[in-house]
Amino acid sequence: MTSGRPPYVHLHQINVSDGGVPKKPVLEARVTLRGVEGDRQRNLKIHGGPDRAVCLYSLDVIEQLQQAGHSIEPGFSGENLTLAGLDWELMQPGVRLTVGPDVELEVMSYTSPCSHNARWFHDGDYQRISQKKHPGWSRVYAKVLKEGVVRPGDQVEVK
């Protein structure tokens, strides 16, 4: 059985919004020290800033959540970059990765789940993506070390 995905760790989807969730897919985006161009966070006390410039999540984790009956889709939980084919438990603070030919990121922290995500979970339990309650299922925040343009299908390498 083949999924139709490239046979390497890659950027599955880029997601942006004018504030709030779900974030919608775009065909390419420039990633700057301030985050993904075209994206805005509703609450800058909780989101954004240099150490939370880009939110990352795993397509593989999203698919596992879907198999458990949750209606979550890429971008729904507020991630900017949805990555595929990566052992998500490796995504811990301090990990560095490249996305495409130019962008370099460093994972800074786990992302706290937000009540705005409750609607994607059949039981309303948005804590399902909490690192404290379910290690390995959380989104992560990353700092941008090197800016550039990213596109779906771009290779992702963990350093």
Q: Can you list the domains of the chain with their CATH numbers?
A: 10-158 (2.40.33.20)
Report the alpha-carbon distance of residue 137 to residue 123 in Å, rounded: 17
Burial class (CB in 10 A: 0-12, 13-18, 19+), 149: middle
Q: Work out the average pLDDT over 48-73.
A: 92
Is the pLDDT score of 32 beyond 70? Answer: yes
E strands, 50-146, are 54-58, 81-84, 96-99, 103-110, 140-146
Lowest mean pLDDT among 13-17, 24-28, 116-120: 116-120
Type of residue at 33: L
Supply the pTM of this predicted model.
Answer: 0.91
For residues 126 and 93, the model is more confident at 93
Helix (H, G, I), strand (E, B) or coil at 134: coil
Number of H helices, E strands in the chain: 1, 11
Q: What is the largest CA-CA distance in the chain?
A: 44
Beta carbons within 10 angstroms of residue 5's beta carbon: 12
Picking from 83, 95, 84, 29, the residue whose alpha carbon sits closest to that of residue 55 is: 83
